[in-house]
């Protein structure tokens, strides 16, 4: 039997039934990823499996470094063959790491390879994968279509012109919706003078407005949110290392803005005040524009200066951030929007798994609404370092105990790779095994109608409803 077989990770007969009969063939709704809209618009043709599989994949880079592989064969100018051979050496030693499962799934689903990649068969598999890419024309769009994806939301700067999204939307030959996701992290970067002042310059150019005050910034952001809405978006995302709630007067916020706009140093306390105010005010705008607001928090980035200086950001040298007062900040931020009944649909993703229970109980405090929105505030799926079997199970258990699992919007890829959609399969297998075990223990009724609703909701249907997908 091959390693990736029909019942991979499904330990009970009930789990097998749930996966094969209810989840396996559901479409994929990928509401947060980092795919390139340009590559989708141009239907990018990949030169080889190294470009498709290893390019930009910092998860794999970390494993390769752990095996002592020289950086030239990871992010340097080694040949595609040399990089693939190096990855094969790391992959065979990745047992116990989710990369071992992901890689086997990706080879099986996209390249029809049942063998486990290793240092002996790498060249044969390399040549085979390249032939499959050529024979089956595995372009960016083909990979999305073959993965049964109906919706893709990319990650985009507020100042992007969204020309690629417009081109995709106008192309009737491609029926997958590709929406932009509003990601305004640079607007919060008041402690990085070059980034913040550069962002203000781009906002001036994009809106035709002066950016002379905090209110100018807010007005410009609202205009850009509407621009995204006009291009099919109703999704925002925020990546913050540390979250704060520190109240400040309008005069204080304006003074902080003026310091940052001049490139002057902004203290940690001033940053906390600015982040608090901007986050809450953006949330109110999202509410009025009917946007979903996402918050990914708890990553401390670019920790290895040598790699950051030579490779740049997103190079695989990030880690989980710890911080005090997470519960206070989360609750107060949501309350800051909810006081005026302007809390938008809100999904939170803690990177630290010890915050799952904390975030789940915070979410439960702000579910009230008169629009019939099911679980308006969501504890999002395990992401990044929690995009693992145990991370997913921790999140599922925390959500089950603090909220309503029946309303969970399910998995996302959070990936730059066009073959990362096997992570949805991985998640669905883990979900079905988790629920199947509870059924066989007698903790959930063995009621097919109830179980079908639960599994299909989490696999796809809840996301369609929550994000109001009307393709």
Mind spelling out the 3-state secondary structure of 286-323? HHHHCCEEEEEECEECCCCHHHHHHHCCCCCCCEECCC
If asked whether residues 129 and 166 sit together in one domain, one would say no
Q: What is the pTM of this model?
A: 0.97
- pLDDT (0 to 100) of residue 471: 59
Residue 56: the pLDDT is: 84
Residues 311 and 288 in one domain: yes
Check whether residue 214 and residue 117 sit in a common domain.
Answer: no
Q: Is residue 204 packed enough to be buried (19+ CB in 10 Å), middle (13-18) or exposed (0-12)? A: middle
What CA dihedral angle connects 237, 28, 18 and 21, to 10 degrees?
Answer: 170
377, 440: one domain: yes
261 and 205 Cβ atoms separated by less than 8 Å: no
Instruction: Dig out the tokens for 70 from the structure.
Output: 């020289």
Residue 284: CB atoms within 10 A of its CB come to 19
Instruction: Please indicate, yes or no, if residue 253 is contained in any of the structural domains.
Output: yes
Q: Are residues 379 and 320 in the same domain?
A: yes
User: How many Å apart are CA 429 and CA 351, to the nearest integer?
Assistant: 22
Q: Which residues, in sequence order, are CB contacts of 133 under 8 Å at separation 6+?
A: 46, 48, 49, 52
**Alpha-carbon span 301 to 315, nearest angstrom:** 10
Identify the three-state secondary structure at position 295.
strand
Is residue 25 assigned to a domain? no
pLDDT at residue 453 in the model = 98
Among 135, 162, 181, residue at a domain's last position: 135
Asked whether the beta carbons of 416 and 57 are under 8 A apart, the reply is yes
Q: Give tens-digit pLDDT for 308-360.
A: 999 998 899 999 999 999 999 999 999 999 999 999 999 999 999 999 999 99
Query: CA-CA distance, 220 to 278, in Å (whole number)?
Result: 13
* 187 in the same domain as 166: yes
Helix axes 268-289, 250-261, angle to 10 degrees: 110
**Structural domain for 84, as ranges:** 45-135
Spatial distance between the Cα atoms of 115 and 280, rounded to a whole number of angstroms: 51
The residue whose two tokens read 């990649």 is: 117
- Report yes or no: 66 and 74 within 8 Å, Cβ to Cβ: no
Strand 235-240 vs strand 346-350: parallel, antiparallel, or unpaired?
Answer: unpaired
Is 163 found in the same domain as 113?
no
As a three-state string, the secondary structure of 107-131 is: HHHHHCCCCCCCCCCHHHHHHHHHH
Measured between alpha carbons, how far is 25 from 36 in angstroms, rounded to an integer?
A: 26
What SS3 state is found at 42? coil
In a domain, 118, yes or no: yes
Are 268 and 168 members of one domain?
yes
pLDDT value at residue 294: 98
Burial class (CB in 10 A: 0-12, 13-18, 19+), 306: exposed
| 243 within domain boundaries | yes
Judged by phi (left if over 0) then psi (alpha if -120 to 50, else beta), residue 412 lies in: beta
State the CATH number of the domain containing residue 56: 1.10.2020.10
Residues 90, 160 within the same domain = no
Walk along the chain (471 residues) and give the pLDDT tens digit of each residue.
799 999 999 999 999 999 999 999 999 999 999 999 999 999 999 999 999 999 888 999 999 999 999 999 999 999 999 999 999 999 999 999 999 999 999 999 999 999 999 999 999 999 999 999 999 999 999 999 999 999 999 999 999 999 999 999 999 999 999 999 999 999 999 999 999 999 999 999 999 999 999 999 999 999 999 999 999 999 999 999 999 999 999 999 999 999 999 999 999 999 999 999 999 999 999 999 999 999 999 999 999 999 999 999 889 999 999 999 999 999 999 999 999 999 999 999 999 999 999 999 999 999 999 999 999 999 999 999 999 999 999 999 999 999 999 999 999 999 999 999 999 999 999 999 999 999 999 999 999 999 999 999 999 999 999 999 985
- If asked whether residues 241 and 115 sit together in one domain, one would say no
Tally DSSP H helices, then E strands, for the chain.
20, 9
342 and 397 share a domain?
yes
Return the structure tokens found at 392. 């997913």
Please tell me the total number of residues recorded for the chain in this structure: 471
State how many domains the chain has.
2
| DSSP-derived 3-state class of residue 43 | coil
For residues 196 and 78, membership in a common domain is answered with no
- Nearby residues of 1 by Cβ (< 8 Å), 6 or more positions away: none
* 227, 183, 390, 307 alpha-carbon torsion, rounded to 10°: 140
Q: Is residue 269 part of a domain?
A: yes
């Amino acid at each position: 039997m091959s390693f990736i077989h029909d019942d991979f990770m499904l330990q009970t007969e009930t789990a097998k039934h749930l996966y094969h009969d209810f989840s396996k063939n559901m479409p994929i709704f990928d509401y947060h990823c980092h795919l390139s809209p340009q590559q989708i618009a141009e239907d990018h043709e990949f030169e080889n499996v190294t470009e498709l599989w290893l390019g930009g994949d910092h998860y794999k880079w970390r494993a390769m470094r752990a095996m002592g592989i020289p950086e030239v064969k990871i992010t340097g100018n080694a040949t595609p063959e040399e990089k693939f051979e190096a990855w094969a050496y790391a992959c065979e030693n990745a047992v116990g790491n989710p990369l071992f499962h992901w890689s086997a799934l990706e080879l099986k689903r996209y390249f029809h390879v049942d063998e486990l990649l290793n240092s002996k068969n790498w060249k044969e598999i390399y040549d085979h994968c390249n032939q499959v890419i050529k024979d089956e024309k595995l372009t960016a769009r083909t990979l999305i279509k073959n993965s049964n994806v109906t919706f893709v939301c990319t990650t985009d700067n507020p100042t992007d012109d969204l020309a690629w999204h417009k081109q995709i939307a106008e192309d009737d030959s491609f029926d997958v919706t590709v929406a932009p996701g509003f990601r305004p992290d640079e607007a919060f970067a008041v402690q990085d003078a070059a980034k913040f002042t550069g962002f203000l310059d781009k906002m001036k150019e994009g809106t035709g407005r002066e950016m002379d005050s905090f209110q100018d910034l807010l007005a410009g952001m609202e205009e850009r949110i509407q621009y995204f809405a006009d291009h099919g978006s109703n999704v925002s995302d925020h990546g913050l290392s540390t979250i704060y709630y520190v109240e400040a007067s309008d005069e204080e916020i304006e003074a902080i803005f003026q310091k940052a706009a001049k490139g002057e140093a902004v203290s940690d306390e001033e940053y906390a005040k600015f982040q608090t105010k901007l986050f809450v005010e953006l949330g109110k705008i999202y509410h009025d524009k009917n946007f979903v607001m996402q918050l990914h928090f708890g990553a401390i980035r670019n920790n290895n200066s040598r790699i950051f200086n030579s490779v740049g950001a997103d190079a695989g040298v990030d880690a989980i951030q710890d911080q005090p007062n997470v519960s206070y900040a989360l609750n107060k931020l949501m309350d800051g929007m909810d006081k005026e009944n302007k809390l938008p649909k809100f999904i939170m993703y803690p990177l630290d798994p010890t915050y799952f229970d904390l975030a789940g109980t915070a979410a439960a405090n702000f579910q009230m609404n008169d629009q019939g929105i099911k679980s308006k505030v969501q504890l999002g799926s395990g992401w990044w370092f929690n995009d693992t079997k145990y991370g997913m199970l921790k999140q599922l258990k925390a959500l089950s105990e603090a909220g309503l699992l029946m309303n969970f919007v399910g998995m996302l890829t959070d990936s730059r790779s066009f073959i990362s959609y096997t992570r949805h399969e991985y998640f669905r297998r883990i979900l079905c095994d988790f629920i199947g075990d509870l059924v066989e223990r007698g903790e959930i009724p063995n009621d097919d109608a109830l179980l079908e609703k639960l599994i299909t909701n989490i696999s796809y249907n809840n996301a369609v409803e929550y994000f109001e997908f009307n393709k």
